[in-house]
Amino acid sequence: MRYSTDALRELLAVSPPLLMLDQLTVDAAAGSASALRAVTANEMVFNGHFPDIPVMPGVLQVAAMSQTARALFMAMDGGDGNRAEKPYVTSLQRVKFRTPVRPGMVMHIACTANDANADGSRSFTVKINVDGDAVASSAVITLAWKGLDWFQPTPTGDGCPLFDQVSGPPLDCVAIRQFIPHRFPFMLLDGFWLLEGNKRTIGLKNVTMADPLVQATAQGLFPGYLQVEASAQLGCAAILAQPENHGKLGIFLSIDKAEFLRPAFPGEQLVMQVDSDVKGRFGIATVQVFVGSTLITNATIKFAILSQAEVSANPTP
């Protein structure tokens, strides 16, 4: 089955700038799907993600892969289409960013379904190619059916336990701009504290319907892949705040694993903790994201700290 752009908006319940597919074809019988996404310089995201080095954010490539997998999941396991539950990405594994995606390229997304799990969830192997056979990114993505109450805010208990580690006000968004290049509409960090010699940092991201990225989801959500991006920006801000790293850039290399336990909704505050271990130019970070006392996301990511000249010569997500 082939989907038009209008059909994609309705099927995926998402609009630009987070709708990352222009064309989609699903073959449920074969357990496969393919999609296209043309990339142009006239996109809002390039104003806020490395403004001087236009490259498609890795997490938006994850969005493209997730949306392709979600369409295939619904076609294969959605029953008669009247199912009360909704599909949601519950985990990412082995997400790798290999070739930069720049304006003028076309992303070719290929998705293959794996066997269904006992709980009804299903994983998908997805790959994006550009410029012929060059692999831009790849991932294993798991989706599950969730009841409608899962997509509603729920009481989160007491205050976030991460606040026990901090004192005083956080560095604000003006200070953050000194360390990372991200700007509207892709700056996803509102404040942070440095802890433990800059190896640990705690940060804030307020979720609101005033955010165009939240407005792009029909359900009014802050998706899990954006929570990982916010945490990556937090970890980079902490590392780039160190004098020896001033003027450098943090580059996303991979998401080894990520687990999404609950969506984030407008009116909620994400409190993120990132623990980083940097050796030379490369590092690994563990991520936890809370709403109140409830852990909603955890992840392990890898990154590089490079000079602007190195990134300009060979930009990556």
Architecture, CATH, for domain 161-313: Roll (3.10)
What's this model's pTM, rounded to 2 decimal places?
A: 0.94
Question: Phi-psi bin for 106: left (phi > 0), alpha (psi -120 to 50), beta?
Answer: beta
Taking only the tens place, the pLDDT of each residue in 168-213 is 999 998 989 988 888 999 999 999 998 866 688 999 999 999 999 9
From residue 302, alpha-carbon distances to 104, 115, 125, 232, 283 in Å are: 27, 28, 20, 9, 6
Length of the chain: 317
Tokens of 125: 């192997």
CATH topology of 2-151 equal to that of 161-313?
A: yes
Report how far residue 123's alpha carbon sits from residue 121's, in angstroms, rounded to the nearest whole number.
Answer: 7
The answer to whether 32 touches 111, Cβ cutoff 8 Å, is: yes
Taking only the tens place, the pLDDT of each residue in 42-94 is 999 999 988 788 999 999 999 999 999 999 999 999 866 677 889 999 999 99
* Tokens 């780039």, residue located: 240
The CB density around residue 50, as the number of other CB atoms within 10 Å, is 22
Taking the domains of the chain in order of start, what are their residue ranges?
A: 2-151, 161-313
Report how far residue 243's alpha carbon sits from residue 124's, in angstroms, rounded to the nearest whole number.
Answer: 42
φ, ψ of residue 203 to 5 degrees: the values are: -140, 170
Taking only the tens place, the pLDDT of each residue in 1-50 is 999 889 999 999 999 999 999 999 999 999 999 999 999 999 999 999 88
SS3 192: strand
Find the radius of gyration of the CA atoms of the chain: 19
Tokens of 67: 């949306």
* Residue 71: closest CA among 154, 164, 148, 9: 9
One-letter amino acid of 308: Q
What class is the 2-151 domain? alpha beta
Q: Which DSSP symbol is given to 162?
A: G
